[in-house]
Structure 1
Amino acid sequence: FITNGPHADFIIVFAVTDKSGPKVKHTAFIVPMDAPGVTAAHHDEKMGIKAAHSCTMFFENVELADDAILGEVGSGFKVAMATLDGGRIGIAAQALGIAKAALDKSVVYAKERKAFGQPIAKFQAIQFKLSDMATELDAARLLTLRAAAMKDQGVRHSLESAAAKLYASEASTRITHSAIQIHGGYGYTTEYGIERHYRDARITEIYEGTSEIQRLVIANSVLKA
Structure 2
Amino acid sequence: MDFALTQEQEMLVKSARTFVEEELYPHEEQVERTDQISPEVRARIKKRALEMGFYAPNMPAEVGGAGLDAVTLALLERELGRANLGLQSVVHRPSNILQACVGEQRETYLLPTISGEKIDCFGLTEPEAGSDVRSMKTTAKADGDDFILNGRKHFISHADIADFAVVFAATGEDDTARGKKKRITCFLIDRGTPGFEILKGYDSVSHRGYHNCILEFDECRVHKSQILGELDKGFDVAGDWLGPERLRLATTSVGRAQRAMELALDYAATRKQFGQTIGKFQGIGFKLADMQTRIETAELLTLRTAWKQDQGIARDEDFAMAKVYASEMVGFVTDEALQIFGGMGLMTDLPLERMWRDSRVERIYDGTSEIQRHIISRALLRPLEAR
Question: What does the per-residue CA deviation read over 1:106-149, in whole Å, with 9 as the maximum and x for residues that have no partner?
Answer: 00111111101111111111110000000000111111111112
Give matches, 1:23-172, under 5 Å.
23-172=181-330
Q: C-alpha distance in 2, partners of 1:35/1:153? A: 41
- 2:339 equivalent in structure 1: 181
Q: C-alpha distance in 2, partners of 1:174/1:83? A: 27
Per the alignment, in what secondary structure is the counterpart of residue 359 of structure 2?
Answer: helix
How far is 1:58 from its partner?
A: 0.5
Q: Contact conserved, 2:160 with 2:200, CA < 8 A, in 1?
A: no
How far is 1:190 from its partner?
A: 1.3
Cα distance change on mapping 1:34 and 1:153 into 2, 3 Å:
farther
Q: C-alpha distance in 2, partners of 1:128/1:43? A: 41
Comparing 19-28 with 212-221, which one deviates more in the overlay?
Answer: 19-28
- 1:3 equivalent in structure 2: 157
Q: C-alpha distance in 1, partners of 2:344/2:263? A: 12
- In structure 1, stretches of 5+ residues that fail to align are none
Output the TM-score relative to the length of structure 1. Answer: 0.96
How far is 1:153 from its partner?
A: 2.5
Comparing 54-63 with 16-25, which one deviates more in the overlay?
Answer: 16-25
Per the alignment, in what secondary structure is the counterpart of residue 155 of structure 1?
Answer: coil
Q: Contact conserved, 1:87 with 1:208, CA < 8 A, in 2?
A: yes
How far is 1:216 from its partner?
A: 0.7
Q: C-alpha distance in 1, partners of 2:290/2:209? A: 30
Comparing 193-202 with 13-22, which one deviates more in the overlay?
Answer: 13-22
Asked if 1:216 corresponds to 2:370, the answer is no
Letter in 1 for 2:203: E
Q: C-alpha distance in 2, partners of 1:154/1:56? A: 35
- In structure 2, stretches of 5+ residues that fail to align are 1-154
Per the alignment, in what secondary structure is the counterpart of residue 19 of structure 1?
Answer: strand
Q: C-alpha distance in 1, partners of 2:297/2:323? A: 12
Letter in 1 for 2:173: K
Comparing 45-54 with 126-135, which one deviates more in the overlay?
Answer: 45-54
4+ runs of 1 displaced by more than 2 Å? 152-157
